Amino acid sequence: MSPCGLLLLLLLLGRVTTAPSVTECGPDEYEAEGLHLCCKLCPAGSYVSEHCTVNHSKGQCRECEPGTFTAHPTGMTSCLPCAQCREDQEVVTNCSRVSDRQCQCQQGSFYCDSPDCAEKCFRCTRCQGSVLQPCSATRDTVCAVETNQEPDERLIPFLQGNGNSSEPFIAVAVAVAVAVVVVVVLFIIVIIVVYQKKGVQIRRRVVGCLKGESEEPGSPEYEQTYFLKDTSCNTTSQTYYIFGQEVTPSKWNMFMTLIGLEGNEIERCRYENQGNLIEGHHKMLITWRNKLGREASIFKFMAALHQMRLRTCLENIINKLIAENILAKHAETPN
Burial of 271 (0-12, 13-18, 19+ CB in 10 A): middle
Q: Give the number of residues in contact with ligand NAG, rule: CB under 6 A.
A: 8
Residue closer to ligand NAG, measured from CB, 94 or 166: 94
Burial of 127 (0-12, 13-18, 19+ CB in 10 A): middle
Give the helix/strand (H/E) hosting 25.
Answer: none
Select the residue interacting with ligand NAG from 14, 16, 19, 24 (CB under 6 A): 24
Computed on alpha carbons and rounded to an integer, the radius of gyration of the chain in Å comes to: 29
Residue closer to ligand NAG, measured from CB, 55 or 316: 55
Phi, psi for 251 (deg, rounded to 5): -100, -5
Select the residue interacting with ligand NAG from 3, 16, 19, 36 (CB under 6 A): 36
Q: Tell me the C-alpha to C-alpha distance, in Å, between residue 329 and each of 213, 228, 289, 322.
A: 24, 9, 24, 8
Residue closer to ligand NAG, measured from CB, 38 or 135: 38
Shortest distance (Å) from residue 122 CB to ligand NAG? 22
Select the residue interacting with ligand NAG from 11, 23, 234, 307 (CB under 6 A): 23
Shortest distance (Å) from residue 75 CB to ligand NAG? 14
Residues in region 81-110 near ligand NAG by CB under 6 A: 91, 94
Which range touches ligand NAG (CB under 6 A), out of 33-41, 212-220, 228-236, 315-323?
33-41
Rounded CA-CA distance 68/335 in Å is: 57
Alpha helices in the chain (DSSP H): 3-13, 150-162, 167-210, 222-225, 233-246, 249-259, 263-272, 277-292, 298-307, 311-323
Residues in region 110-169 near ligand NAG by CB under 6 A: none
Shortest distance (Å) from residue 198 CB to ligand NAG? 54
Q: Which residues bind ligand NAG (CB under 6 A)?
A: 23-24, 36-38, 55, 91, 94
